[in-house]
Amino acid sequence: MERFPRLRFMGSKHRLWPWLHDVLSGIEFDSVLDAFSGSGCVAYLLKAMGKRVTASDRLHFAVVIARAAVENSSEILGAEDVARLLEHDPRHPRFIERTFRGIFFSGDDLRFLDRVWARLDRVDGWHRRDIALSALIRSCVKRQPRGVFTVAGDPERYKDGRRDLRLSLRDHFLEQVEVYNRAVFSTGRRHRVVEGDVFEIDPAGHDLVYLDPPYVPRADDNCYIKRYHFLEGLSRYWEGCEILVHSRVRKIVKPHTPFSHRSECLDAFRRLFERFCGSIIVLSYSSNGYPDIETLTGILRSFKPRVDVFERDHRYHFGTHRAVRRAKVREYLIVGR
């Protein structure tokens, strides 16, 4: 598990791995759907537990990362592939450099991203390309202060000595390719990663469904696109993304999710449980979300005769534009069977 390239990602459960492992080990199942896979760390844990895993998320960059580390069981990005990606082509497109100059990273960094993207199709094999893209994504997270893309900043301002902020994206990339290569392993089973809204994913064929939707927070917001729009755009070279040209950081339009709105989330949980009620349901939830745990277990009980709640303390770390905040919450795993 220590080989998983952990990503600073809002709501990531990687700190809860041992607890998740303990609770899941007490349940009998073989196939599993991680329907809000995010950073991919839970899907990776489930793969390491020997399960047949399907992971899905509607963020494209989350899908790319999960394909590289979960669906991919054998391909690695070799030295020749990397050399091909780094070859210089003076006529490469300059979309990233033109769009984000003075907003994120240095001019050299932005040109580097454009250059690698232009050469991605020289690499054979989907999963090798996924590794290259995942390495780019993780490099950007490491090089970006607090790992979020909410405020434009002069990259020079952040040169405070921290290695991750000092290293160029090129140097990060070379390291991250190795990190992703090391994460690849096989359990002899086939895993699948699909992109899409949770209400469009086929609910059939999973013994257990793990649900970790965004929580409607009591303060702040839970918008993934606001924080990670650059990574989402990068994962698809902004193809199909509508850039909000008047936003200072060139955000992209955020898709609607009922899990962000108090007025819609109760109905969304009801539909979610109904959709997956043919499987064991394991829901991650936390005390800082809306609705409260009693309401949520009440809804689940109308679909599942037996509902067990496991709980423990947890401390989330996440960046906001003001400061890095640490929220102490009670974390729940609600199991319906």
Q: What residues line the site for ligand SAM (CB under 6 A)? A: 9, 11-13, 36, 38-39, 41-42, 57-59, 62, 197-198, 212-214, 224, 257, 259
Minimum distance of ligand SAM from residue 200's CB (angstroms): 8
To the nearest whole angstrom, how small is the minimum distance from the Cβ of residue 211 to ligand SAM?
9
* Rounded Cα gap, residues 64 and 215, in angstroms: 23
Secondary structure of 278-310 as H, E, C letters: CCEEEEEEECCEECCHHHHHHHHHCCCCCEEEE
In the bound state with ligand SAM, the residue whose beta carbon lies nearer, of 34 and 97, is 34
Q: Which among 104, 122, 124, 66 is positioned nearest to 234, based on CA atoms? A: 104
In the bound state with ligand SAM, the residue whose beta carbon lies nearer, of 196 and 205, is: 196
* Per-residue buried b or exposed e for 282-297, using 16+ beta carbons within 10 Å of the residue's own CB: bbbbbbbbebebeebb
- Residue in 3, 13, 24 with CA at minimum distance from that of residue 214: 13
State the minimum distance, in angstroms, from the CB of residue 107 to ligand SAM.
31
Per DSSP, 69 falls in state I
Distances (CA, A) of 192 to 158, 229, 328: 39, 25, 34
Nearer to ligand SAM by C-beta: 25 or 74?
Answer: 25
Nearer to ligand SAM, 29 or 224 (CB): 224
Considering the complex, state which of residue 153 and residue 291 has its C-beta at the smaller distance from ligand SAM.
291
Q: CA 31, CA 191: separation in Å to the nearest integer? A: 10
Asked, as a colleague might, if the bond just before 5 is cis with ω within 30 of 0, I would say no
Q: In a 3-state reduction of DSSP, which class is residue 24?
A: helix
Smallest gap from Cβ 314 to ligand SAM, in A, equals: 12
Q: Which residues contact 22 (CB under 8 A, 6 or more apart)?
A: none
Q: Residue 109 or residue 331: which is nearer to ligand SAM going by CB?
A: 331
Which residue is listed with tokens 């009980």? Answer: 301
Instruction: Report, in Å, the least distance between residue 214 CB and ligand SAM.
Output: 5
Closer to ligand SAM at the Cβ: 11 or 319?
Answer: 11
The nearer residue to ligand SAM, 259 or 332, going by C-beta atoms, is: 259
> Residue 49's closest CA among 191, 155, 247, 172?
191
Of 73 and 286, which CB lies nearer to ligand SAM in the complex structure?
286
- Min dist CB 62 to ligand SAM, Å, is 5
Q: What is the DSSP letter of 71?
A: I
Q: CA 56, 302, 18, 22: dihedral to nearest 10 degrees?
A: -120
Residues in the chain: 337
120 touches 85 (CB < 8 A):
yes
Strands 192-195 and 52-57: parallel
CA–CA separation, 253 vs 292, rounded Å?
Answer: 30
The least CB distance from residue 243 to ligand SAM, in Å, is: 19
Minimum Å gap between C-beta 52 and ligand SAM is 18
Shortest distance, position 182 Cβ to ligand SAM, whole Å: 19
